[in-house]
Amino acid sequence: GATKWYRCPRAGAQQQLHFSVAAGGALEWLPRESILFDGSKAAMHLEVELAPDSQFLGWEILCFGRRASGEGWHSGGLRLHTRIRQAGHPLWWERANFLAGSGFDSSPVGLGGCSVSGVLVAAGADIGAELLGACRAITPRGLDSRVGVTRLPKLLLARYLGHSSQDAFNWLTAIWSLLRPALLDQPAIAPRLWAC
């Protein structure tokens, strides 16, 4: 199920994930959404160390507040730190420090008025133009959703902004369904955990 970050009147909560993938290996980290309740103070750290010829395929879906329950995210904070390296060389580093009520939720360089954000990262292998085009051709169902797919050396990023965690999940899953067979030579069979 979803990860829930509850209100923290004092010190915040944190999640630290450190993964090492051996040569020729692959790791998928594909959790359901993380819900930030109003007043939550969370820190999420993800570090991935890839050996040569290993790959990482993962995502994070963030829900700022509980829109369906009429609850926004008006107080609290979120610190994000993602670092992915291969053979000691950085492939992707990203840091963010969001403060609820600071204006990032409505800023065009922030959430742009959206309450759900998602990002998929495929790291460790170069993405060909045909696969990139197929990923970019996938559109989310939500009419108010905004998406983008970017290719960098040995990295693909797919980003979602909208108001539905299910829409984000469905869009990211569709991209994963293309990437998994192409990059990992494995069929895109949904894990049973997703059905919970």
- Looking at residue 169, what is its pLDDT? 95
Query: Has residue 71 got a pLDDT over 90?
Result: no
Residue 149's nearest CA partner among 115, 169, 119, 113 is 119
How confident is the model over 55-74, as a mean pLDDT?
89
The fraction of the chain above a pLDDT of 90, given in percent, is 73
The fraction of the chain above a pLDDT of 70, given in percent, is 99
Query: Has residue 49 got a pLDDT over 90?
Result: yes
- Looking at residue 105, what is its pLDDT? 85
Q: Which residues, including other chains, have CB under 8 Å from residue 170's CB and lie 6 or more apart?
A: 140, 141
- Looking at residue 168, what is its pLDDT? 96
Q: Which residues, including other chains, have CB under 8 Å from residue 128's CB and lie 6 or more apart?
A: none
For 79-96, the pLDDT digits (tens) are: 999 999 999 999 999 999
Q: How far is the C-alpha of 123 from the C-alpha of 49, rounded, in Å? A: 10
Strand order in the sheet with 77-86: 13-21, 41-50, 77-86, 89-99
pTM to 2 decimal places: 0.92
First-residue to last-residue Cα distance in the chain: 6
3-class SS at 16?
strand
3-class SS at 181?
helix
For 98-152, the pLDDT digits (tens) are: 899 898 888 988 888 899 999 999 999 999 999 999 999 999 988 889 999 999 9
Query: Has residue 196 got a pLDDT over 70?
Result: no
